[in-house]
Amino acid sequence: MSYTTSIKNEICTYQETKSELIATLSAIVRNNGYLENNTLFLTTENPNIKEKLISSFYDLYKIKVKVESKNSLNFSKNDLFVISTSNEVDFILKDLGYYNSQNEYLESPPEYITGANEEIRAYLRGVFLSQGSINDPKTSRYHMELLIDKPQEAVFVQKLLNIFDLNAKILNRDKRYMIYIKEAEKISDFLKLIGASNAVLYFEDIRIYHDKKNHTNRLNNCEQANMDKIISSALTQLKNIQILEENYAIELLDDKTKEALIYRKKYPEASLKELSEIISLETGNKITKSGLNHRFRKIAELSNKFKEENT
C-alpha cells in the first residue's frame, strides 16, 4: 500500500459534522465529479473513498447511489469504481456550492461551504481525497501535490492552504494546475490539518531519522575535512624537514625547534594539538599548540630559503 493510499484510508474514517461533511463532499464533487444527462458521476480506485461517498450521499440526502466497477484505464491493477446518482441532482449541486440558484457553475464555492476553519480543513480533506498525493518520506525528497483542472479552483485551494501558512505554490502542468508543497514541516502541518494523525506520526518518525542521519553525515564530513587538513599540514612539515636534512641545515635550528622536528618525524600523523600534548608529557616541558606551530614556521622559513636557492 502506498503512503498516499494509507493517508486517504485514514482520513476516510475521520468523524465529520454535517457542515464538515458538506465541505468535504463539495470539494470531491468540484474536483472529481462530472455531469452527463442530468446524472452526477464520481470515480475512484479506492474502496474506502467509495464507501465514504456512499455513506455521505445517504447521510446528507438520504440517497442510495449506484456503484459500478470497471477496469481501470491508467494501467492500475485496481478496479475503477463509478459512483452515480440521478436523484435530486440539481438540489445536491446547489447545496454543495457547485451551482448557484440560476444553475450556473460557481468558480469557487460560496462562503458558507468554507466559513470556518473546520470547514476549510474538511474542504482540503476532500480535495486531497480526490486529487492529492504525498511522497513516502522514505524517498529522497519531500513532496505533496494536488492536481486541479480549473484555474479558479486551483487559486481558491491555494488560498485555503496558505491561510495556514503552508507556503503552497501553483505550477501549470499539462493543461492542469499542480498545487505543491516541498517543505517537510509544512507537509506535516497539512497532514495534521486534514486529520491524518497516524500519517503524521509516520512522517515525523522518518523525518527525524533523516535529520539525524544528515547531521551525522555533516559531522563525518567535517571530521574527514579536519583529518585531511591535519595530514596535509603534517606532510608539508615533513617535506620541509626533508629539505633541511638534504642540505645539512638541521644544526641551524635552535634546540626547541630541533625538538619539534624530532617529534614530528616520530609521530608523522599526529595533529599539532596531539603533538604538543605528547611533547609536554614526554619532556616535562609544557608547550602549546600555538607554540609548536611557531616552531614549524621557523622550519618552513628556513626550508623556503633553500628552495629559493635551488630554483
Cα angle value 110/42/180 (rounded, 5°): 65
Give the per-residue pLDDT at 275: 86
Please answer whether residues 67 and 83 qualify as being in contact, where contact means their C-beta atoms are separated by less than 8 angstroms. Answer: yes
For residue 172, give the 3-state DSSP assignment: strand
pTM: 0.68
Q: What is the pLDDT of residues 40-54, one digit of tens each?
A: 999 999 999 999 999
pLDDT (tens digit, 9 = 90+) per residue, 247-284? 888 888 888 888 888 888 888 888 888 888 888 888 88
Burial of residue 307, with CB atoms counted within 10 A of its CB: 0-12 exposed, 13-18 middle, 19 or more buried: exposed
- Does CATH number 3.10.28.10 belong to domain 3-195? yes
List of E strands, the chain: 34-36, 39-44, 66-71, 79-85, 132-134, 144-148, 169-173, 176-181
Q: How confident is the model at residue 13 (pLDDT cuts 50, 70, 90)?
A: very high
What is the distance in angstroms between the CA of the first residue and the CA of the last residue of the chain? 71
The Cα–Cα gap between 11 and 198 comes to: 10
- Closest to 6 in 3D by CA, of 123, 111, 135, 183: 135
pLDDT, tens only, 189-218: 999 999 988 888 888 888 777 677 666 777
Q: How do residues 111-159 score in pLDDT, each as one tens digit?
A: 889 989 999 999 999 999 999 999 888 876 889 999 999 999 999 999 9
Give the angle 111-55-114 at the CA atoms, nearest 5°.
10
Average pLDDT value for residue range 8-31: 93
C-alpha cell at 274: 596531539
What are the DSSP calls for 222-276, one per residue? HHHHHHHHHHHHHHHHHHHHHHHHHTT-GGGS-HHHHHHHHHHHHSTT--HHHHH
What is the pLDDT, as a whole number, of residue 104?
86
Q: Where are the domains of the chain?
A: 3-195, 223-309
CA angle 158, 162, 166 (to 5 degrees): 110
Q: How far apart are CA 186 and CA 197, in angstroms?
A: 15
Which candidate, 239, 263, 136, 127, places its Cα nearest to that of 187? 136
pLDDT of res. 266: 86
13: closest CA among 57, 63, 56, 68? Answer: 56
Q: What is the mean pLDDT of the chain?
A: 87
